[in-house]
Amino acid sequence: MAYYTSTTKADLEAYNTLVTTGEGYNGTTPNWATIVEHPNGLDFAILKHPNYDATLTIEESLGAEWYPSEEI
Amino acid sequence: MLGLGLSLFTGGSLRPYYAVVAAAFKDRVEADGGTVESMSCLKADLKVLNPIKPPAYTGLLNDYSGAAAAYSLRLLDNTYSGSAVRVRRASDNAEQDIAFSNNELDTATLETFASGTDAFVTTWYDQSGSGNNATQTTASSQPKIVSSGSTILENGKAAVEFDGSNDSIVTSSNFIANTDLSLFVLRKFNSTTAKPQDVVSQGATQSFEGFKYGMSGGGQDQLAIYYSSLYVPTDGNTTTLQELHSLITTSSTTTLNINAASKGLSVSSGGQIGNNSDPLTIGKRDGTGGYYNGNIQELVIYTADKSTDESGIETNINDYYSIY
C-alpha cells in the first residue's frame, strides 16, 4: 500500500478531500483515509488511492518507525 | 393429553403420534361401518390439519443474557430486530444495512448489493441491546466482507476480514471500566508475520488502564491488563487456525480457553479492567499500530464473571461454527 508523505499536514488533508469528493463517499463514510502522524511530530502520511495522484512524495509503505507500538 | 410430535407406547412398542392417531381414527370409522382407503393419506391429512411447528429459534443471548456488546454474523437473540451490518460497496460507495435470513447473515442480499465488487463494513451492529455499535467512517480503514462479489467465508460461514494494514472498527463510547471481563471471540489470523497484532483493545498504553488482547511482540496469544500491569502470554504461539478464545479476568483470576481447552498462563493472578474512558477498538491497538491481519466472525463481551456459563457459551458457538 503506497502512501503520500509530507511535512505539511494541510497538503494531505487536501488530498483526502480530493479523493472523498471524487469518490462521492456519503452516508456513514465521509472520509477516504486517516492521516498518520510520525512520532517525530514533523512528518505526516496518507494512504494513496489507486485512482488519484498528487504531486507529493510517495512511499511504497510506511516503516515501523511510524508505528511505535509497545513490543508487548 | 397427547402433544404433537410425541410417540406413544401401544402394544408394547413405540409408535409415532400420527400413526397412533390415524390407527385410532381408522378403528372408529370401521366400527361405524365405514372404510379408510389409505392410511398413509390419512396420516398426511392429520399432519396438514395439525402441523408441527418448528421450535422457536433460541440465540446465544437468549440462553446467556446480559452481554455488554455482541457482534456476530448470525442472529444471537430472537428478540433482536435490527441488522447485522451496514456495508459500503466499492462500485459506487452506496451503503445498505444487511439483516438476517434464517438466523444467519443474509448473504444473498449482501452479494446482490455488492454487485460483483467488494463490500466493506461501515457498522457492525451490537445485538446486545446496549447500542455499542462498532463503526468505521474512513473508507480505506473499513474491514471487508465481500470480495469480488462473494461473501468472505471462514469454514463455510461469513466472516469480517481485517487487512492488517489500517482496518479497524470502534465503538462510540466506553463500556468496559472498573469491571470483571468475559470475552468470547471467534477469530482466525491470516498472517502472524507482523508482530504485535491486537484483535481487540481499549486504551493505547498502560496509562489508559484498559486492556488489549491479541498476539504479543513475541508471537504468543496475550492478554494485557494495563490497570494491574498484568501481561499474560499463553504457553503457545499464536496460530493461523480458526479458534474460539474465551477470556475471563476478575480481581482474583485470569483464565483463557482456546477451543474450550484451558491454556496455561504465565501468571495465575487476576486483574479487573481499570478506570478508563476509552471506547473498544476491534482490529488494531487503540491509538496506532498493532493492526490485526485476520477474520472475526463473532465477538461477545460481558462485563461480568461468566465462568459458570463459559462452557455453555463455548458449546453454543461451536455448535454453529463447527470449530473443533
Give the total residue count for chain A.
Answer: 72
3-state SS, residue B289: coil
Whether A33 and B138 lie within 8 Å, measured CB to CB: yes
pLDDT of B1 > 50? The answer is: no
Q: Residues near B320 by Cβ (< 8 Å), separated by ≥ 6?
A: B74, B157
Of residues B291 and B231, more confidently modeled? B291
Could you give the CA distance from residue A47 to residue A35 in angstroms, rounded to a whole number?
8
CB B227 within 8 A of CB B271: yes
Tell me if A34 and B135 make a contact (CB, 8 A cut-off): no
**What string of DSSP letters covers B140-156?**
GGPPEEEETTEE-EETT
**Chain B interface includes A72 (CB < 8 A):** yes
Mean pLDDT within B211-220 = 89
Q: What percent of chain B has pLDDT over 70?
A: 86
CB pairs under 8 A between A and B: 73
* Closest residue of chain B to A50, computed from CA coordinates: B140
Report CA B304 to chain centroid distance, whole Å.
18
Cell of B131: 447500542
Interatomic CA distance for residues B249 and B232, integer angstroms: 11
Mean pLDDT of B42-53: 69
Distance from CA of B315 to the nearest CA of A (A): 31
| B89 Cβ neighbours under 8 A, 6+ residues apart | B95, B96, B113, B114, B115, B117, B118, B119, B120, B146
- Which chain B residues have a beta carbon less than 8 Å from that of A27? 88, 94-95, 122
ipTM above 0.90, yes or no: no
The amino acid sitting at B247 is L
Rounded (to 5) percent helix, strand, coil in chain B: 20, 35, 45
> Which pLDDT tens digit goes with each residue over B97-144?
999 999 999 999 999 999 999 999 999 999 999 999 999 999 999 999
Of B71, B127, B124, the C-alpha closest to B98 is: B124
- pLDDT of B4 higher than 60: no
Distance CA B194, CA B139 (A): 23
Distance from CA of A6 to the nearest CA of B (A): 19
For the stretch B133-151, pLDDT in tens is 999 999 999 999 999 999 9
Please report, for residues A72, B13, B23, B43, B280, the alpha-carbon distance to residue B46 in angstroms, rounded to integers and kept in the order given.
66, 21, 11, 5, 54
Q: Angle at which helices B17-31 and B39-49 pack, to 10 degrees?
A: 110
| B147-169 average pLDDT score | 97
Please report the pLDDT score of residue A11 as a whole number. 97
Q: How far apart are CA B143 and CA B280, in angstroms?
A: 16
- Residues whose CB falls within 8 Å of the CB of residue A56, separated by 6 or more in sequence, listed in order: A4, A5, A6, A11, A12, A15
Query: Taking the C-alpha atoms of B292, B298, B302 and B308 in order, what is their torsion angle to the nearest 10 degrees?
Result: -120
Q: What is the dihedral of CA B269, B177, B132, B322, to 10 degrees?
A: 0
Closest CB to A29: pick one of B139, B217, B288: B139
AA identity, residue B144: K
Write the secondary structure of B233-263 as one string of H (helix), E (strand) and C (coil).
EEEEECCCCCEEEEEEECCCCEEEEECCEEC
Q: What is the pTM of this model?
A: 0.84
